[in-house]
């Protein structure tokens, strides 16, 4: 989608393309192990609004629960590239158990029309991500247009950057 109009057939991407302002995309995330998934979008600043939003869990998906089963695909709402060119930062957190800091933020995000985080929750989430980001290996597969994240431990946290101009 570009400028709210379909401009070409939807295609699968592993995230290595450069997107235009107005392009829309959806994320599909799955794990080979059951656990808890949190997906956060740190977009460009927006006037009178937050630029940091929880994409998953959401009140509309999975009854607001962060739980995911082994091999269960999670599809995000549509995300639109807007604002200045650069990177759209998407944080992925997978854990074997609920993450207290993100469960607290989830409650606030359910009250915001775009899943936004503000004030103390925003500060706490950013600090949590900064302190706990883990070393993972990301492999982009062109043939299947997928990206696979691998790591060790009970919690994996990684940042994916999607380029737009």
The DSSP letter of residue 76 is P
Q: Which residue has the tokens 């790591």?
A: 151
Collapse the DSSP code of 152 into the 3-class scheme (helix H, G, I; strand E, B; otherwise coil) and give the result: coil
| Cβ atoms 20, 81 nearer than 8 A | yes
Q: Which stretch of DSSP H or E encloses residue 111?
A: helix 100-111
101-147 pLDDT tens trace: 999 889 888 888 778 888 888 888 999 998 988 888 877 777 777 77
Q: Which stretch of DSSP H or E encloses residue 131?
A: helix 119-132
| Cβ atoms 16, 143 nearer than 8 A | no
57-113 pLDDT tens trace: 988 887 889 999 998 888 887 777 777 777 788 899 999 999 999 998 898 888 887
User: 146 φ, ψ to 5°?
Assistant: -130, 160
| Cβ atoms 28, 13 nearer than 8 A | no
Q: Average pLDDT, whole number, for the chain?
A: 82
């Amino acid at each position: 989608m570009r400028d709210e109009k379909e401009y070409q057939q939807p295609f699968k991407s592993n995230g290595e393309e450069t997107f235009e302002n107005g392009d829309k995309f959806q994320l599909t995330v799955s794990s080979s192990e059951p656990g808890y998934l949190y997906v956060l979008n740190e977009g460009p600043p927006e006037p009178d609004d937050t630029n940091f939003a929880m994409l998953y869990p959401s009140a509309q998906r999975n009854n607001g629960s962060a739980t995911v089963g082994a091999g269960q695909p999670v599809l995000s709402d549509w995300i639109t590239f807007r604002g200045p060119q650069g990177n759209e930062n998407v944080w992925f957190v997978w854990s074997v158990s609920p993450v207290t800091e993100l469960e607290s933020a989830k409650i606030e995000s359910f009250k915001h029309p775009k899943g936004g985080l503000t004030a103390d929750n925003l500060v706490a989430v950013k600090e949590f991500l900064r302190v706990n980001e883990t070393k993972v290996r990301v492999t982009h597969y062109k043939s299947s247009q997928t990206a696979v994240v691998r790591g060790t431990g009970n919690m994996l946290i990684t940042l994916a950057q999607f380029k737009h101009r």
